[in-house]
Amino acid sequence: MGRQELAYPKQPYSTVKRYDLLASYELSTIHTIISTSPMVNVSFIDPSSPFPTILPMIGALGSFSRPSADITDVQDLYLHGYISSRLVNQSRSPSQPEGLPVCVSASHVDGLVLSLTPYSHNYNYRSATLFGHAALVTDPDEKLFAMRLITDSVVPGRWAGSRTPPDAGEVASTGVLKVKIAAGSAKVRVGGPTDGKADLADEALRERVWTGVVPVYTVYGEPVASEYNGVERLPGYIAEYVADVNEETRRQAVEAATKEVPKKVVDDDDD
Amino acid sequence: MGRQELAYPKQPYSTVKRYDLLASYELSTIHTIISTSPMVNVSFIDPSSPFPTILPMIGALGSFSRPSADITDVQDLYLHGYISSRLVNQSRSPSQPEGLPVCVSASHVDGLVLSLTPYSHNYNYRSATLFGHAALVTDPDEKLFAMRLITDSVVPGRWAGSRTPPDAGEVASTGVLKVKIAAGSAKVRVGGPTDGKADLADEALRERVWTGVVPVYTVYGEPVASEYNGVERLPGYIAEYVADVNEETRRQAVEAATKEVPKKVVDDDDD
Q: What does the pLDDT look like over B108-155, one tens digit per residue?
A: 999 999 999 999 999 999 999 999 999 999 999 999 999 999 999 999
Kindly state whether B169 is in contact with chain A, defined as any CB-CB distance less than 8 angstroms: no
**Helix, strand or coil, per DSSP, at residue A175:** coil
Distance between alpha carbon A247 and the CA centroid of its chain, in Å?
Answer: 18
Cβ <8 Å between B49 and A13: yes
Kindly state whether A173 is in contact with chain B, defined as any CB-CB distance less than 8 angstroms: yes
Kindly state whether B23 is in contact with chain A, defined as any CB-CB distance less than 8 angstroms: no
For chain A, which ranges sit under pLDDT 70?
1-3, 18-21, 264-271
- Nearest CB partner across the interface for A206, out of B46, B51, B230: B230
Q: Which residues are paired to A17 by β-bridges?
A: none
Cβ <8 Å between B117 and A159: no
Task: Give the pLDDT mean for B101-112.
Answer: 97
**Helix, strand or coil, per DSSP, at residue B15:** coil
The nearest CA of chain B is from the CA of A62 a distance in Å of 18
Closest residue in B to A41 (Cα) is B41
| pLDDT tens track for B195-230 | 999 999 999 999 999 999 999 999 999 999 999 999
pLDDT for residue A35: 97
Task: Give the pLDDT mean for B58-67.
Answer: 96
Average pLDDT, chain B: 92
Kindly state whether B197 is in contact with chain A, defined as any CB-CB distance less than 8 angstroms: no
The answer for residues whose C-beta is within 8 angstroms of residue A31's C-beta and 6 or more apart is: A61, A71, A72, A75, A128
Cβ <8 Å between B41 and A107: yes
Burial letters for B32-69: b for 16+ Cβ neighbours within 10 Å, e otherwise? bbbbbbbbbbbbbbbeebebbbbbbbbbbbbebeeeee
Q: Which of A154, A162, A185, A197 to mutate to test the interface with B (most CBs of B within 10 A)?
A: A162
The Cα B133–Cα B180 span in angstroms is 5
What is B119-146 written as a DSSP string?
A: GG-EEEEEEEEEEEEEEE---HHHHHHH
Is residue B85 predicted with pLDDT exceeding 80? no
| pLDDT confidence bin for B269, thresholds 50/70/90 | very low
The answer for residues whose C-beta is within 8 angstroms of residue B13's C-beta and 6 or more apart is: A46, A48, A49, A50, A51, A53, B131, B183
pLDDT for residue B184: 96
The nearest CA of chain A is from the CA of B18 a distance in Å of 8
The closest alpha carbon to B10, from B186, B230, B239, B207, belongs to: B186
Distance between alpha carbon B240 and the CA centroid of its chain, in Å?
Answer: 22
Task: Give the pLDDT mean for B249-254.
Answer: 97
**Reported ipTM:** 0.94
pLDDT for residue A18: 64
Kindly state whether B129 is in contact with chain A, defined as any CB-CB distance less than 8 angstroms: yes
- Nearest CB partner across the interface for A84, out of B17, B19, B38: B17
- Nearest CB partner across the interface for B45, out of A45, A54, A85: A45
The Cα A156–Cα A240 span in angstroms is 10
| pLDDT tens track for B7-45 | 999 988 888 876 555 899 999 999 999 999 999 999 999
Tell me the pTM: 0.94
Kindly state whether B62 is in contact with chain A, defined as any CB-CB distance less than 8 angstroms: no
